[in-house]
Amino acid sequence: MVSSNKKNHSGVKKPFRLEEIWRIRTRLEIENSLMQLALLNLAIDSKLRASDLLPLRVCDILSQERMFARVKLIQQETDVKVQFEVTARTQQSLMKWIFVADLKTSDYLFPSLRRNEQPISYSYYRSLVRSWASNIGLDPNLYGTHSMRRTKATLVYAKTKDIRAVQLLLGHTRVDNTIRYLGVELENVLILSESTDC
C-alpha cells in the first residue's frame, strides 16, 4: 500500500512561476553560481527533457565564438525535431560559464565533476532543481526536471492560449498530449467555475 505522503509527491511536477524564476536567478547571481545559472536559463529556454538537455555540447549552441539564437535538435525520446530559442540573457550566462570553465567546443556544456567525459547526471540535475525550489521557500517534492520543461510552456500558454504553439515548442506529436501535459482542461474549467457567480 502506498502511503498518502508518497502519493502526494508523485506525479506531474509543478512549473515555476515567473516571479519564482526571477528569485532563483537573483540568488544564483548573488552566489556567483555560473554553471547553475546557465543551466537554469537554458533549461527554461529550451524546454527540453533532461535526456536531451544534459548531453548538449558547446558546439551545439556555439560556433566560432558566436552563440546561436536558435537551435534545432532531434529529441531522443520521440525522434521529433524541435527548435528552441536562446535568449540574450541565456546567451550571456552561457558565454560567461563557458569562458570561466574553459570549455572546448567538443566538451559537454555541463560536464560532470566526478565522471570524466560525461555530463552531469539526471539525479544531480534533479537535486539542483529541488534545491532551487527549496531555497526560495517552495516544497522541493513538488518540483523536478520536468518543472523546467513545463515552466516556459505554461507561461506561453497563459499569455497566448495557443495550444498549437505550445505543442510545437514541446515537440509533441499530438495536441492532446500537450493538453494533458499542461493540465489545460482542468485549469480552464476551474477558472470558469471561479468566475461564475451563483
Local confidence band at 194 (pLDDT 50, 70, 90 cut-offs): low
Between 19 and 82, the higher pLDDT residue: 19
Residue 103 is placed in which grid cell?
Answer: 570549455
> For residue 198, what pLDDT is reported?
52
> For residue 5, what pLDDT is reported?
42
Answer whether 0.85 is exceeded by the pTM.
no
Q: Are 120 and 112 in contact (CB under 8 A)?
A: yes
> For residue 3, what pLDDT is reported?
38
Local confidence band at 196 (pLDDT 50, 70, 90 cut-offs): low
Q: Are 105 and 58 in contact (CB under 8 A)?
A: yes
Buried b (16+ CB within 10 A) or exposed e, 140-165: beebbbbbbbbbbbbbbbeeeeebee
Q: How far apart are CA 10 and CA 35, in angstroms?
A: 28
Local confidence band at 165 (pLDDT 50, 70, 90 cut-offs): confident
Q: How far apart are CA 66 and CA 63, in angstroms?
A: 5
- Full 3-state SS string of 153-189: HHHHHHHHCCHHHHHHHHCCCCHHHHHHHHCHHHHHH
> For residue 189, what pLDDT is reported?
45
> For residue 159, what pLDDT is reported?
79
> For residue 197, what pLDDT is reported?
56
Between 111 and 12, the higher pLDDT residue: 111
Q: How far apart are CA 136 and CA 139, in angstroms?
A: 9
> For residue 11, what pLDDT is reported?
64
Q: Write the pLDDT tens digit of every residue in 142-153.
A: 999 989 988 888
Which of 100-109, 124-133, 169-178, 184-193 has the least mean pLDDT?
Answer: 184-193
For the cut 90, the answer to whether the pLDDT of residue 56 exceeds it is: yes
Class for the domain spanning 13-194: mainly alpha
Q: How far apart are CA 77 and CA 195, in angstroms?
A: 39
Q: How far apart are CA 132 and CA 138, in angstroms?
A: 9
Which residues are CB-neighbours of 164 under 8 A, at least 6 positions away? 175
Residue 189 is placed in which grid cell?
Answer: 474549467
Mean residue pLDDT of the chain comes to 85
Local confidence band at 126 (pLDDT 50, 70, 90 cut-offs): very high
